[in-house]
Amino acid sequence: MNPLTIALTKGRIERDTVKLLSRAGFDMAFMADKGRSLIFESPDKAFRFLLVKAPDVTTYVRHGVADLGIVGKDILYEHPRGYLEMLDLNFGLCKFALASVASYDPKDHKRKRIATKYPRVATDYFHQKGEDVEIISIQGSVEISPILGLADAIVDIVETGNTLKANGLIVFEDICRISAQLIANKASLKNKPELLAFVKKIESLVGRKEVAFDEKISRNK
């Protein structure tokens, strides 16, 4: 039997996943001492984990190289096709927000420039408001762009809020909640019965979503 292959987002999502699977009763000791390796197979050959960058999780799942993937919802908003969303894992919690310097006026009618690592999310957000904006795609350190005059505001991830604060920005609107998601390849779901058994096993351990935050988001829509 081929191992169930799971693409994991390197870093915090990977560490939280290992904790979750340990709680689910899987012996994850084989991933304790990782070094620079990027592929790990469990000693019983039931599982294989691939450690990859977040956007590549969807690529491995879409192509069927991985049966399952674990990745933040932020990435799924930007890469929405070619997999099935199975489960909200309820960790890796943060949000998308519109932020800028205090003098920013969201009601200003001039065509705004919005800097972001998430052009699709930002475009959809302003489209829903019926506002035409110029999206400026950048790769990181988005928070400095309004200070330097590259953009009027940013759409970015906020977790602790420390990066915004350290750069003198404030949140003008919460856009939506983000959390880690379990995604599956469609053919694997059909052809590998052990995949569904695995999903059901961890489903029982995953807590409820933060309802209060979700309600706040739907009120803002």
Residues near ligand PRP (CB under 6 A) are 140-143, 156-163
Q: Which is nearer to ligand PRP, 12 or 63 (CB)?
A: 12
Query: Residue of minimal CB distance from ligand PRP?
Result: 140
CB 94 within 8 A of CB 73: no
Using CA atoms, how far apart are residues 88 and 179, in angstroms rounded to an integer? 7
Q: Which is nearer to ligand PRP, 75 or 133 (CB)?
A: 75
Residue 160: CB minimum distance to ligand PRP, A: 3
Q: Which is nearer to ligand PRP, 90 or 163 (CB)?
A: 163
Residue 209: CB minimum distance to ligand PRP, A: 20
Name the strand (E) or helix (H) holding 71.
strand 68-72
Cα distances from 14 to residues 19, 99, 184, 208, in angstroms, run 9, 28, 17, 20
Q: CA neighbours within 13 Å on the CB side: how many for 18?
A: 19
Residue 181: CB minimum distance to ligand PRP, A: 18
Residue 4: CB minimum distance to ligand PRP, A: 29
CB 207 within 8 A of CB 90: yes
